[in-house]
Amino acid sequence: MSGLLLDPWFYAAAIPAVILVGLSKGGFGGAVGFVGVPLMALTMPPVQAAAILLPILCLMDIVSVWTWWGVYDRKMLVDMMPGAVIGIGLGWLTAALVTEEAVRLIVGAVAIIFVLRWLYLQFRHGSDHAAEPNRVAAAIWGTVAGFTSFVAHVGGPPFQVYALPIRLDPKVLSGTAAIFFAATNALKLIPYFALGQFDTANLTASAVLMPLAPLSTIAGAWLVRRMRPEIFYPFTYATVAVVALKLLWDGIAGLL
């Protein structure tokens, strides 16, 4: 582990990864936080990267919830959280059976379809079209988000598949996402610990990177508060599309 902490390539990958995840946690760019694990995985095994990142995510969640305190959609949380708990449980049960590559491929395909559907609706109904909340859809996508978040830290795209079409105010959406992922990441600590991922080496690496967490999260929230909906939503959908293509690429490459 001392070799990892003395390796400049570790910091070259991990520092940008933590900053990007923090910006995403603050609400800026939504799914761009996905790049955290792949970036860190350039210098270490993906599972170790995910384990190192999880405590940092939890700290970011605390900062994000504090930053957006009182700004959230209660109905969306009530509808999605039971599914997320089920998804985390399924991820724990199948952790040894489901490969990260398969999860990335599935999530990437779903996200691409989601973005194409949004483009179609923009063409047909205009930029102001908003979907109605749906309890069944919320439960399904909450379950998918919980499962993919546990297996590969890729809960953002499934969450956004349900949440973005409703077109909440960007600040409300960011606050709702902050609470949703704070709860799911806190729940993930239990199975990750049970699977032996939190050894001294990984926790030491987490502690070294921790100071970047609050600063980058607050910066993300600062940016969101200054973005108009007509900019925020196209930008967020664009980041989902980029992430989806990366997921598809990684999933296909890993399965070949």
- Answer whether residue 110 shows pLDDT above 80: no
What is the number of domains present in the chain? 1
With cut-offs at 50, 70 and 90, classify the pLDDT of residue 123: confident
Quickly state the pLDDT bin for 127 (edges 50, 70, 90).
low
Domain that holds residue 116: 3-255
Mean pLDDT of 134-142: 93
Residues 31-64 pLDDT 10s: 556 667 767 877 777 777 888 999 998 998 898 8
Tell me how far CA of residue 250 lies from CA of 96, 167, 246, in angstroms: 19, 30, 6
Q: Provide the 8-state DSSP code for 28.
A: S
Task: Average the pLDDT over each of 15-24, 39-48, 170-179 and give the range with the smallest value.
Answer: 39-48
Percent of the chain with pLDDT over 90: 24
Query: Mean pLDDT over residues 191-205, rounded?
Result: 86
Average pLDDT, the chain: 82
Q: Highest-confidence range of 14-23, 33-42, 118-127, 229-238, by mean pLDDT?
A: 14-23
pLDDT beyond 80 at 166: yes
Vertex 157 angle, CA 147 and 118, to 5°: 140
For residue 84, pLDDT beyond 90: yes
pTM for the whole thing?
A: 0.76
pLDDT single digits (tens) 204-214 = 999 999 999 88
Burial degree of 69 (CB within 10 A; 0-12, 13-18, 19+): exposed
Task: Please tell me which residue, 178 or 114, carries the higher pLDDT value.
Answer: 178
Beta strand spans in 50-143 (E): none
pLDDT at 165: 85
For residue 30, the model assigns a pLDDT of 56
> Element (H or E) spanning 53, and its range?
helix 46-67
